[in-house]
Amino acid sequence: MELRDFNPVAGLAALWTREHLKPENLEWLRNVPQGPVRVAELPEIQFVHGSPIDEDEYVVTLDDAVEPLTIASTAITFFGHTHLQGLFFSNGNAPDFYRPPYKTIGKAETVQFKLRPNTRYMVNPGSVGQPRDGDWRAAFALFDTETRMVTFCRTPYGLKSAQDRILAANLPQRLATRLAAGR
């Protein structure tokens, strides 16, 4: 993407990152394939950044998820981009969504969700670096291909240390403060 396509704060962070990446890491990133990405051993699963339609598409609402769920060439799509942990699903009836119901604010927690047969899913594991759902904890998910169980996870991390490193790098303060808000 061109820098002009980013908001100003994200653009500054992208420039900083490009300047600080080691050449081998930058080369690795340049070689990451565009999605959908498939793995031969997992034929019913695909991986995308935004959606199966467009890598830069934001799938935030149920309305956003309808078309990607309908046209997906696999039963399960793992996606990100929005940093919003949860999933959308459809079994031929009206599509629906699920957000993990965590019970604490500052402790490690997991919530399991069993994927049903004959249902299409779009699963967003969340974001370790910048959750955007109001929960500051690192968000990720584990998927057991045999049991078809998604385990959504939240874990605290050194928030203050991360904020201090952002500020020490002379990055915009907004990047540090948003971590605590999970936005």
pLDDT in tens, 42-84: 999 999 999 999 998 999 999 999 999 999 999 999 999 999 9
Burial of 61 (0-12, 13-18, 19+ CB in 10 A): exposed
Record the pTM.
0.91
What is the pLDDT at residue 130?
A: 84
Listed residue (123, 21, 40) closest to 81, CA to CA: 123
| DSSP 8-state assignment for residue 154 | E
- State the average pLDDT over residues 122-151: 95
pLDDT at 131 over 80: yes
3-class DSSP assignment, residue 58: coil
Strands (E), the chain: 37-38, 45-47, 76-78, 86-90, 96-98, 109-114, 120-124, 138-144, 149-155
Q: Report the share of the chain in percent with pLDDT over 70.
A: 99
Tokens of residue 154, six digits? 């939240």
What is the pLDDT at residue 106?
A: 87
- State the average pLDDT over residues 104-109: 92
pLDDT at 1 over 80: no
CA-to-CA separations, 18 to 22, 26, 39, 170, in angstroms, rounded: 9, 8, 29, 15
Domains of the chain, start order: 1-32 (no CATH), 33-181 (3.60.21.10)
pLDDT class for 94, splitting at 50, 70, 90?
Answer: confident
What is the pLDDT at residue 93?
A: 83
According to the per-residue pLDDT averaged within each range, which of 12-21, 29-38, 135-144 is highest? 135-144
